[in-house]
Structure 1
Amino acid sequence: MADSVSIPSDSLTTDSLIRHRREIADLKQRIKNRRLQVVGLYGTPFITLTALSTWAGLKVFLWLDSNTPGAIDTIFGVVAFFSGVAFVAQAVAEFSTELNVWRDRRTPLRELKLELSLAEERHILEARRRTPPPMDRQASYKERLPDEIARLRKESRHYRRIHLFMQWLLFISSAAISAVTAWYDPPQPAKGALIALGFTVTVITAAAGYFRPRERAFNLQLTADSIEQHATALELGISPYNTDEERRNLAQFATTVEELRAEQRMKEQQLDQPQQGQQQVI
């Protein structure tokens, strides 16, 4: 009898929390859309005026006594025309009473942010009022881990690609400096190329030493592998999750994963510190 009563209650709790999360996600998307609408509405007149002012300034200071080149007239004319058309279209969508193109037209951003804050507060209060028992939360935590592992691996691949791109660019630029220097004698015709290549090598070397994408990729991949290893051990019921109590295994699993995530955050903070600061901490 207790199970037949708890099932509807659990279903009601889940539906309520899902509804609140959907409301929060919808408000966040509306805020993003409204921010783009406001930027477009008030940014396009500025672009139009800037294009016209630059066009007139070039005419006055460079071609006062002659005709402006056709390419210049075409470029600035096209920019001014399309930005003006975009402003008119956005103004109609914003202020027209007949058209309903924009969902939150004439709505200040602060009002949407207030609605989002209230929705998040309602979600917190509802979650606190309908908090499930620890074992259910731990089981739900386990089910969310595949997304966390995928996120860590995605970030690891991102930093690995950045590292490889920087290394290949460094290799090519370093080799090109020697090749250009050997090709031109004297090197005067290639002075600009040598300066650009040397600048590229210096910037990449400094950026690689400061951001350290290789270390970030390694730490993220290591954390993802460790979490996946513990998740597999829990799923298979092997050490250290081979006790007879499921509650104890879930609690130990959640504690271990949170320790791994805290260690990952600490590694990221250490990488963000200057090299001298890291040596002092060590």
Structure 2
Amino acid sequence: MTNSHANPLPSPSEDRRSGANVSLTRDQAVDETGTPLTPAQAFDALYAFCAPALVRQAYLLTGRHERARESVEQAFQLAWQRWPEVAHDRDPAGWMRATVYECALSPWHRFRRRGDTPDPPSDPADRALQSALLLIPPSYRRTLVLYDGVGLDLPETAAETEASTPAAANRLMHAREALAARLPELADPAELHRRLVRLASTERLGAGEPAGVRTTGERRTRFWTRSAIAFTATIIGATTLTLRTAPTHYLAPVSPGHAVHGLPVQGMLGPLPPEALKLRAELRKEAAGGPERLAPGVR
């Protein structure tokens, strides 16, 4: 959280933005002795600078302690995976803030277990403010926290929320109107800023150690890399097996057989009766002694 501003749409303030950015490029990421920092040291410095405030801001967005910490750790794990990009960004702190907000307001949280309920503060006034905040649409809530909580000016808020300046101003006005309708004392922007800072500061929200965040991120990256390799190998094996066992030409299906009706039944051969045997003997005798046409001979 930064200093309060009383004007509804203030102009950029130098003192408000002083110290807000951290440059961690190779040329400027140095320690007190002038020695360039290693990537791990630069990451730890960025984490120590940003994580405590980002946990409090994520709590304003979600109203949940555990989700706020998870969002910050997830964002920094992603930053460690993409560290060259983050280290050379003109505003690494802004990059981290935008990523934390995306993680905190991700629509995938709606599929979490039912026990994921808000963690209300002990003060009744803070509980009322938190309830009113959580009733605002996420895009309006994000704009309100950036402008009235963090203290960004309107163009910066619009850029960070990936919206036009008029759209950001419209979201801000609707968010303020929604809060003022439930808590009339928050119609004053200065009072709203003070209450947001108090709500974020009263809860004891600690961030994890940077080394643990880096280790968890590396372990998760290795897991997904190995899973991707195993999945790819499985697909290749299944494809190879299919190519080796699949038919290489078309085989016409064999029609099923069926019975043929209407044909005469073929008689069964058996022993000849005496009359038939006598007739057969006479025919053979006559054929042997008859005309040549009946018994042709070799010439």
User: Same fold judged by TM-score > 0.5?
Assistant: no
Given the two structures, how large is their TM-score scaled by the length of structure 2?
A: 0.18
TM-score, normalised with respect to structure 1: 0.19
Kindly name which structure, 1 or 2, has the bigger radius of gyration based on alpha carbons: 2
Give the structure, 1 or 2, with the largest relative contact order (CA under 8 Å, sep 6 or more).
2
